[in-house]
Amino acid sequence: MGMINVIVIEDDTDGAEVLAELLRIKGVNVLAKGNNGLEAVRLYKKLKPDFVLLDMLMPYYDGFYGLRKILEYNPHAKVVIVSASINQDEKEQLAKLGAFAIVRKPYEMDLLVGLLHRASRDDNPSKRPIII
- What is the domain extent for residue 117? 4-47+69-131
The total number of structural domains in the chain stands at 1
Residue 62 lies in a domain: no
Residue 20 lies in a domain: yes
Contact 22, 68 (CB under 8 A): no
DSSP state of 14: H
Within 8 A by CB and 6+ apart from 22, the residues are 109
pTM > 0.85: yes or no: yes
State CA 48 to chain mean position distance.
Answer: 13
The predicted pLDDT at position 81 comes to 95
Residue 55 lies in a domain: no
Contact 7, 40 (CB under 8 A): yes
pLDDT in tens, 63-94: 999 999 999 999 999 999 999 888 889 999 99
What CATH number is attached to the domain comprising 104?
Answer: 3.40.50.2300
Residue 53 lies in a domain: no
